[in-house]
Structure 1
Amino acid sequence: MRLRYHARSLRFDSRGCAGHVAEAARIVELAVDRRPRERLLMAGPTCLTDAELLALVLRTGNGTADAVNLAHTLLDRFGGVLGVLSSTAESLLAVRGLGDAKVAALLAIRELLERAEIEKMKRAPVVSSSDEVRRYLGIHLAGKEREVFGALLLDTRHRLLGVEDIFLGSIDRTMVYPREVAKCCLRYNAAAVVLFHNHPSGSAEPSSSDRELTERLNSVLQEIDVRLLDHVVVAGLRKVSMAERGML
């Protein structure tokens, strides 16, 4: 079958893996063994580019561009895979060619990633790595346009009991009531807690009010014998551990 391309041709190595790829023609015009889905099944997902993997989720294009080209558009617009998966439903729906079905599929992937991280932490003998917590929070808070304050609740052996978003605020502030945080810990019968909140429009550096709040919360939690292990502030890709900064 003769292949036609809009721009440069695809290049493949001996495993059928694509090199640096320009815009391709319609996927259905490609030979079967050159289509993303078939190549993934033959050689594994690492052989596909970000755009090709994303195209498998999108499944179809937008009428003027195939799924791969639509994926390229998304990656360029949102700055890569993380940007796409961190975007809100509203911002995704604003892209021509993304309807409810495609957006729902993208949001489902993000939710599955978050649930996988929770499952992994719950199965771990102990939640001891700050990197592990930061990785989870990066997924959990991705795309949140308002401030969220929450907690990872742990038992006496620092195993994860659950995750709670306790307060939802505006774009730049959240009202946090220590009594409600304490109630949440008691509800889980938690022995330790990692608090977290995000700064959707600012820096991940803890503010003076963040430090004051953490001190108040620490005092309240000590009264109910709950140990505050950390308070993590998230802003975009940055996550700052107040424990590592010596702020607890």
Structure 2
Amino acid sequence: MNLKDLPIDAQPREKLLARGPAALCDTELLAILLRTGTAGRGVLQMAGELLGKFKGIAGLLHASADDLKGFKGLGGSAKRAELIAVIELARRALAEQLKERTVFSSPDAVKDFLQLHLANRSHEVFAALFLDSQHRLIEMKELFRGTLTQTSVYPREVVKHALAVDAASVVLSHNHPSGSVLPSRADEAVTQTLKAALALIDVRVLDHVIVTQGASLSMAEKGLI
């Protein structure tokens, strides 16, 4: 069944225009973007299956072009391109917010930004938000991949990039693919190592945020910085 075959009140597009986007569930919003389903499978069913496969909106926002290509109904390039474009727009919108305002005036935006970039990675990724003297975002850079240890994170590279972008402070971040948001002893050790290294060039470590799918933890809030 196409969207146009549904009763007017049930059609997501009309419902959105009449009641606003908050009145729609995730499946309905995604159905508007997909527009049509496939033979024997309506667009709402397709949207629901897509969210199920990627475990919700958060997972879908981290899907790659190859991930989407493997889903029935997205083999063609047009719909995949539209979804990828929406995902990238979401990332850029959050980045613009952090570049225009003090990062710590909107901690939820910081966590949302990091969730969008790191939470659903299948491997551990260490990144840093490099900030100016007003604590506005200059750049986010993924620096290292793999299990986080003092030997796998190179302070020299973090210091080098902080100097290159003239950062005044940084927010460190990495993901835990295991699903546990609690910091390990290695996490704490790496944080202190980087804090000491960056202090030599007068760059402050403001926080270290650990993210998993659907959760995040600020080490600064826990008194670990």
TM-score (norm 1): 0.79
Contact 1:153 1:163 (8 Å CA) reproduced: yes
User: In the alignment, residue 149 of structure 1 is paired with which amino acid?
Assistant: F
Structure 1 residue 226 displacement after superposition:
0.4
Which has a greater percent of helix? Answer: 2
- Give unpaired runs (5+ residues) of structure 1: 1-24
Report matched runs for 1:1-248 at 5 Å: 25-30=1-6, 35-99=11-75, 100-124=77-101, 126-128=102-104, 129-167=106-144, 169-170=145-146, 172-173=147-148, 175-248=152-225
| Alpha-carbon separation, structure 2, partners of 1:235 and 1:72 | 23
Structure 2 letter corresponding to 1:44 = G
Instruction: Give per-residue Cα distances to partners, 1:153-189, cap 9 Å, x unaligned.
Output: 112221222211122x24x457210000001100111
CA distances 1:50-99 after superposition (whole Å, capped 9, x unpaired): 22211111122122212111012223333333333233444433322222
Q: Give the aligned residue type for 1:72.
A: G
Q: Is the 8 A contact 2:27 2:44 kept in 1?
A: yes
Q: Distance in 2 between matches of 1:150 and 1:86?
A: 16
93-102 or 218-227, which deviates more: 93-102
**What is the identity, as a one-letter code, of the residue corresponding to 2:51?**
L
Q: In 2, distance between residues paired with 1:204 and 1:180?
A: 25
1:203-245 C-alpha deviation (Å, 9 max, x unpaired)? 2211111111111111100101101101111121121111112
Higher relative contact order (CA 8 A, sep 6+): 2
Question: Which amino acid in 2 is paired with 1:139?
Answer: L
Identity between Structure 1 and Structure 2 (%) = 46
Q: 1: distance between equivalents of 2:89 and 2:119?
A: 13
Which letter does structure 2 place at the counterpart of 1:181?
Answer: V
Distance in 1, matches of 2:110 and 2:20, equals 29
Structure 1 residue identity aligned to 2:122: E
1:163 alignment partner AA: M
Q: 1:53 to 1:241 in 2, by over 3 A?
A: same
Please give the alpha-carbon distance, in whole angstroms, between the structure 1 residues aligned to 2:200 and 2:148: 26
User: How far apart, in 1, do the equivalents of 2:24 and 2:161 lie?
Assistant: 44
